[in-house]
Amino acid sequence: PVGGYDHIRLRGDVERVSVTVKAGQVEPLLLGIEAGNLIPGAVYAGNDEVNLGLGELAGKFVAMPGFDLVDQSSRAFDSSSTAGKDVVIAAFHTTCHETCPLYTALFFQLAKKIPASVTLAEVTTDPDVDTPAVLLDYRNRTGATWEFATGTRDQLASFWKPFGVELASGDTHTSTLALIDRHGYIRLVYRGAPKVGGDIPPALVSSLSAQGLRQLASGGDGWGAPDVLQALLTIAGPEQSPQPAGGKAPSFALASTEGGTVSLASLAGKPLVINFWRSDCPPCRAEMPLLQQRVGAQPNVQLVLINWGESGEVARSFLSRVGIQQRSLLDSDLAVGRAYGVAALPTTIFVRSDGTIDRRQIGQLDERVLTAELSNLVSQ
């Protein structure tokens, strides 16, 4: 019947979803079903959502592996409890005094702006110390209102494996933030220290080490709450929304995995698809074969892969492992990525033949978006 609905029921399974049925219009629904039951989070309503679902369920996006953790109150924090919500997760532990307090400050900023459909969670990398009781004490001391999660060493190693984050204590862990969409797919990965400015509780400032204070003063790696909030808006659509750009592409001269140096000037005259990636970024791994296939089929467009912050050995090993027959340039100090406005991975820059930027794409490319952007480039 005509009207608004807030859930779908299949036998005994219920999934929350907003559906509006209008007279004389078809409202498509796509349901993921396994063994006769609804797959948690796999409910898509409306044309855009159904298009997203077709891509996700067809394996074009990277699914977050199932996980089974507990929160600060020993309640379940798992795949089922987060289904249907966009989730922002950050690697952290309570004994870190360098970047972890900055991530907590970032979450304070995000908590003021996010809708109820988004879950924030700091997930420990030090389960030996960070028991539920320790996490609850940290939450109470800082005044945080979001989730903190822990588990066994095996559970947490499995949780962080897709992001290349090792279990660690002290200030040695890999600083990572990731966005998982409401259907359970990894969409964006951020690395390094966030920029939080002066909006940080005094208790967190006092917990920072000397290096942490330097990170705070320098603005970390340049990305912060505005970037994450914008990314949350874009993952609500069927694909990451391309951001309008303009202006000349910043020049560079970078070492190549095949030896020698490649400059932007040496690539002049053809449209370019510049893709910033890392081996420990799941969406980067998922989209790279598509990039090679689609861009490679365009004789007048050149694909430029730029590895962001990893060694040549790591980049070469990854490209060989996934069957990519393409050199990659090495942005070892992250300077070129920053010049191009890279905050999260993957990021793809479409450059016209005259050297001006046509579009910036944040997040994994959908085939339809890539096809449309290539068409734009070759027609200009």
Domain harbouring 367, CATH code: 3.40.30.10
Residue 45 has pLDDT above 90, yes or no: no
- 112 shares a domain with 207: yes
Co-location of 72 and 18 in the same domain: no
Domain end call among 178, 213, 234: 234
- Same-domain check for residues 221 and 279: no
Which of 26-30, 129-133, 230-234 is the most confident on average?
129-133
Give me the phi and psi of 253, to 5 degrees please. Answer: -145, 110
Q: What SS3 class is residue 220? A: coil
Q: Is residue 17 part of a domain?
A: yes
- Cα distances from 172 to residues 92, 98, 168, in angstroms, run 11, 9, 6
Same domain, 228 and 292: no
| pLDDT value of residue 153 | 97
Q: Are residues 259 and 195 in the same domain?
A: no
Residue 327 lies in a domain: yes
Q: Which of 197, 214, 234 is the last residue of a domain?
A: 234
Where is the domain boundary, 234, 256, 284?
A: 234
Q: Give domain status of residue 63, yes or no.
A: no
Task: Tell me how many domains the chain contains.
Answer: 3
Residue 308 lies in a domain: yes
**Could you tell me if residue 312 is inside a domain?**
yes
pLDDT of residue 368: 81
Contact yes or no for 205/216 (Cβ under 8 A):
yes
One DSSP character per residue, 103-167 reads HHHHHHHHHTT--TTEEEEEEES-TTT--HHHHHHHHHHHT--SEEEE--HHHHHHHHGGGTPPP
Q: Do residues 250 and 358 share a domain?
A: yes
Same domain, 164 and 274: no
Give percent above pLDDT 90 in the chain: 64
pLDDT tens digits for range 355-372: 999 988 888 888 888 998
Three-state DSSP class for residue 180: strand
Provide the b/e sequence for 224-256 (b: ≥16 CB within 10 Å).
bbebbeebbebbbebbbbbeebeeebeebebee
The pLDDT score that the predictor gives to residue 55 is 61
pLDDT digits (tens, 9 = 90+) for 329-353: 999 999 999 999 898 899 999 999 9
Do 80 and 193 lie in a common domain? yes
Question: What's the confidence (pLDDT) of residue 241?
Answer: 43
Mean pLDDT for the stretch of residues 369-378: 88
Whether the per-residue pLDDT at 124 is higher than 50: the answer is: yes
pLDDT value at residue 334: 93
Same domain flag for 215 and 321: no
Domain span at 256: 243-379
**75 lies in the same domain as 180:** yes
More confident residue, 48 or 162: 162
Residue 24 has pLDDT above 60, yes or no: yes
Say whether both 340 and 268 belong to one domain: yes
pTM for this predicted structure: 0.73
Give yes or no: residues 99 and 223 share one domain. Answer: yes
Q: Alpha helix (H) ranges present in 237-334?
A: 282-296, 312-321
| Residues present in the chain in total | 380
CB atoms closer than 10 angstroms to residue 132 = 17
pLDDT higher than threshold 80 for residue 48: no
DSSP per-residue string spanning 56-82: HHTTSSEEPPP-EEEETTS-EEEHHHH
Q: How much is the average pLDDT of 317-329? A: 94
For the ranges 14-23, 48-57, 146-155, 369-378, which has the lowest average pLDDT?
A: 48-57
Q: Residue 6 above 70 pLDDT?
A: yes
Distance CA 288, CA 293 (A): 9
**Looking at residue 83, what is its pLDDT?**
87
At residue 53, the pLDDT reads 65
β strands within 184-270, DSSP E: 185-191, 243-244, 253-256, 261-263
Beta-carbon count within 10 A of 104 CB: 27
If pLDDT is split at 50, 70 and 90, which confidence band does 239 have?
A: very low
Q: To the nearest whole number, what is the mean pLDDT of the chain?
A: 89
Residue 119 has a pLDDT of 97
What's the mean pLDDT in 138-157?
Answer: 97
Q: What is the pLDDT of residue 18?
A: 78
